[in-house]
Structure 1
Amino acid sequence: MSRARLRWNGDAAAGAIKEAAARGLLLSAEHVLAASRQRVPIAEGTLERSGATSVDEATMTAAISYDTPYAARVHEDMTARHSPGRSAKYVESVLPETAGEVQALIAAQIRRALR
């Protein structure tokens, strides 16, 4: 009769997956930020340069933000005129377009961690 041993490293695997998912979230947020910067209305470039990303590993959520006093107003004002290719909803409009890439970035990080 042959014997086999199995060592279960479930906690280590779960931790590696969570770290990889957080890395994937950050990469994804950076990707969405780059796409939104292509649409953000430009007057002097201050709004575009204020873009930033963050990840909360406890809740596994990522955020993209623009840090100027007028960022929300510019984002929501659908009546304002902007240069060609630039528009209001400069974050919201790129989310559906980048969803597949976001999923692929997160999945790739998790696959890499499980090797």
Structure 2
Amino acid sequence: MTQRARIRWNGNATLAAMRQGAVRGVRLGAEHLLEVSRQRVPIEEGTLERSGVVSVDEQSVTAAVSYDAPYAVRQHEELTYRHDHGRTAKYLEGPLHEEDGTITEIIAAQVRRSLR
């Protein structure tokens, strides 16, 4: 007895869906990082906190979190400045390292979701 099977390969569609999920995951991961870092941004009037943004390059599937107040870099790097309780220098670098597992899981979850 001969049996036949027909298989349809949807590789291109699968890769496109995975890419979409990865882009969505990178965006959500970056937004998560922005929210965590906003809780640590030195604050006096809130200008620095409000200047935080997420930008995503869908072509390279990368994201950036940045603060563009004129003094953002100085506040981030100057370890001798005194800040209110819970606010600190390295307000972006610290959360990036602490949240890397969570960010990775956010991205992975979106890729998995795109394959359903």
TM superposition score category, shorter chain reference:
over 0.9
TM superposition shift of 1:72:
0.8
Name the count of aligned residue pairs.
115
Partner of 1:33: 34
Give the Cα–Cα distance (whole angstroms) in 2 for the partners of residues 57 and 81 of structure 1: 38
Superimposed CA distance per residue, residues 53-86 of structure 1 (whole angstroms, 9 cap, x where no aligned partner): 0111111211001111111111111111100110
Partner of 1:105: 106
Partner of 2:45: 44
Partner of 1:55: 56
Give the Cα–Cα distance (whole angstroms) in 2 for the partners of residues 54 and 87 of structure 1: 23
TM-score (norm 2): 0.96
Partner of 1:76: 77
Give the Cα–Cα distance (whole angstroms) in 2 for the partners of residues 19 and 54 of structure 1: 16
Q: Alignment partner of 1:93: what SS?
A: helix
Partner of 1:6: 7
Moved over 4 A (4+): none
Extract unaligned runs of 5+ from structure 1: none
The CA RMSD measured in Å over matched residues stands at 0.7
TM superposition shift of 1:5:
0.6
Sequence identity (%): 59
Matched to 1:4, the amino acid is A
